[in-house]
């Protein structure tokens, strides 16, 4: 099993037995130009599947892809939608995700070692993929159970003085909202303090409103940093301020491009029971040791 990259259309070059698509959105427009070109690429990728195409029934983009594929006779859908072929239900999102899954009148229970609705949904997709590969529902659910997560997917890095530190690669609004939803399921009565480094000038330009909506709704306080340009040259007028301008009036946030100062802001705000979540697909993951060290200094100075 591989995780294919759609950003440059290279994912159409494989010859897989099964293709699973979790969602489709207007991303990587710097390469594709239009949403229609993105759909064409996903359709071409799906048509390379020898045995089956597994699609999330909960996503508008994948449902549209299903309509484009037409009567291929090898589509298997999954999700919480009652019209899915493999249906997830009875989800408990945290502290670890536990849910039921049903297929063709049979049901099974799956329990992961990580929290979150999105992890549970993706695990349901894995179960559907295993079914499409010839496994029984019971064996597929058992195989998915116990999943411990992946690097930079709400990855736990430690707890200091009652404050828990996590890192996530989320950069697209859908991923950001899902990561913050997971943090909310874990934090309980505490607050979610997020440090976010926008990724790509083009994505910030196209998705500033959606990113602002995700942080306004899901983060108790957000510390924004400068854009990580990666492969792109700067675009005139495109800065993190595009997101800040769209933040809800009731939301709590600040902009601090200096990493050391941003760490101080985060650890000074964080109280026992809170979560500090670093979030980016750029190089912000490198700030985690610096962040933990800053919290230790604050804790030691306070006699904790």
| pTM listed for this prediction | 0.76
pLDDT in the model for residue 246: 97
Residue range(s) occupied by CATH 3.40.1190.10 in the chain? 10-144
The fold of the 155-301 domain, in CATH, is: 3.90.190
Over 80: is that where the pLDDT of 151 sits?
no
Tell me the pLDDT band of 2, cut-offs 50, 70 and 90. confident
Architecture category of domain 10-144 in CATH: 3-Layer(aba) Sandwich (3.40)
Over 80: is that where the pLDDT of 152 sits?
no
Q: What is the mean pLDDT of residues 64-84?
A: 90
What percentage of the chain carries pLDDT values higher than 90? 76
- 227-244 as b/e, with b when 16 or more CB fall inside 10 Å? bbbeebeeeeebbbebbb
8-state DSSP, 106: E
Tell me the pLDDT band of 72, cut-offs 50, 70 and 90. low
Tell me the pLDDT band of 298, cut-offs 50, 70 and 90. confident
**Rounded-to-integer distance, Cα 79 and Cα 122, Å:** 9
Residue range(s) occupied by CATH 3.90.190.20 in the chain? 155-301
């Amino acid at each position: 099993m591989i995780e294919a990259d759609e950003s440059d259309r290279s994912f159409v070059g494989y010859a897989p037995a099964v293709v699973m698509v979790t969602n489709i959105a207007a991303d990587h427009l710097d390469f594709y130009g239009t949403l229609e070109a993105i759909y064409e690429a996903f359709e071409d990728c799906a048509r390379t599947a020898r045995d089956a195409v597994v699609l999330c029934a909960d996503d508008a983009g994948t449902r549209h892809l299903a309509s484009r594929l037409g009567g291929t006779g090898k589509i298997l859908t999954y999700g919480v939608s009652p019209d899915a072929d493999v249906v997830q239900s009875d989800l408990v999102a945290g502290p670890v995700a536990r849910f039921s899954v049903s297929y063709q009148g049979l049901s099974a229970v799956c329990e992961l070692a990580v929290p979150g609705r999105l992890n549970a949904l993706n695990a349901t997709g894995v179960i559907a993929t295993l079914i499409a590969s010839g496994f029984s529902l019971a064996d597929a659910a058992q195989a998915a159970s116990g999943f411990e997560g992946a690097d930079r997917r709400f990855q736990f890095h430690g707890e200091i003085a009652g404050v828990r530190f996590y890192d996530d690669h989320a950069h697209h609004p859908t991923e950001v909202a899902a990561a913050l939803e997971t943090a909310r399921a874990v934090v309980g009565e505490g607050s979610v303090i997020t440090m976010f480094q926008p990724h790509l000038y083009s994505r910030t330009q196209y998705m500033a409103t959606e990113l602002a909506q995700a942080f306004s709704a899901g983060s108790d306080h957000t510390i924004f940093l400068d854009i990580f340009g990666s492969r792109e040259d700067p675009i005139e007028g495109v800065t993190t301020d595009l997101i800040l301008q769209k933040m809800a009036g009731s939301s709590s946030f600040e902009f601090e491009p200096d990493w050391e100062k941003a760490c101080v802001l985060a650890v000074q705000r964080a109280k026992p029971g809170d979560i500090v979540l670093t979030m980016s697909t750029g190089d912000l993951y490198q700030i985690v040791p610096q962040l933990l060290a800053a919290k230790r200094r604050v804790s030691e100075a306070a006699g904790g």
